[in-house]
Amino acid sequence: MNLVMMGIQGCGKGTQAELLEQHFGWRHINIGNLFRSNIERQTELGKEASKYTEKGELVPDELVYEVIKDAIRKADKGLILDGFPRNLAQHEFLVENVKIDKVFLLDLDTETAIKRISSRRHCENCKRDYNLLYNKPKEKGVCDDCGGNLVQRKDDNEEAVALRIEKFYQETGKVIDLYRKQNKLISINADQGIQEIHRQILAELSC
Ligand SMILES: [Zn+2]
């Protein structure tokens, strides 16, 4: 089974992809995380990518394809693409490289998404993720696990998020339309609890 999880940033598609990975053993492919790890390790790919992400811009397609091809090769049971494809060119690339069975759209309004993302923090030291809305640390600004400082990612500020959401509707909207026409698209209300959304996705997959 090969899935695509779509939705604006903050819709929780990464969390749902992780739950599916645990449940079925399919490989969760998150483009953002793959790049972040390359940037942290200062690989050639990472250095090239950081030129864009530092300005709050998206990484160009050629760089994304290298990372995805590698990930597809390693996914033998199935895969869950998270944050890809985000435009028609990427969709074309996917058609040539892997067969997609179903596409989930986690539907969330822009205002809620911006609120969720600008509340994100992570530990500088151990990288554990927090959210000041629903996953707060016990002590303000301090990691529960290691006592490290909690910081905000450079690209999680409100302006950068709003820009990415606008771009999502301009570019990714066309891909969503395509999947809808192919009857692969399943839309889920993302303004619900994590477990409830997970339950609905499992129900859709079992039929
Ligand atoms: Zn920590």
pLDDT tens digits, 108-127? 999 999 999 999 999 999 99
Q: What is the mean pLDDT of residues 61-77?
A: 85
How far does the centroid of ligand 1 lie from the alpha carbon of residue 149, in Å?
7
Predicted TM-score of the model (pTM): 0.80
* The predicted structure's pLDDT at residue 45: 83
Long-range contacts made by residues 119-128, C-beta under 8 angstroms, separation at least 24?
A: 120/152, 120/153, 120/156, 121/150, 121/151, 121/152, 122/150, 122/151, 122/153, 123/148, 123/149, 123/150, 123/151, 124/148, 124/149, 124/150, 124/151, 125/149
Question: Catalytic residue among 27, 86, 116, 121, which?
Answer: 86
Residue 181 has pLDDT above 90, yes or no: yes
How far does the centroid of ligand 1 lie from the alpha carbon of residue 129, in Å?
9
120 is catalytic: yes
* The predicted structure's pLDDT at residue 93: 95
User: Quick one: how far is CA 94 from the chain centroid?
Assistant: 17
Cα separations (Å) of 47 from 25, 59, 65, 103? 31, 11, 16, 32
116 is catalytic: no
* The predicted structure's pLDDT at residue 169: 95
Q: Which domains, and CATH codes, for the chain?
A: 2-205 (3.40.50.300)
Residue with more model confidence, 56 or 145: 145
* The predicted structure's pLDDT at residue 207: 59
Residue 71 has pLDDT above 70, yes or no: yes
How far does the centroid of ligand 1 lie from the alpha carbon of residue 134, in Å?
17
180 is catalytic: no
Question: Catalytic residue among 13, 27, 116, 121, which?
Answer: 13
164 is catalytic: yes
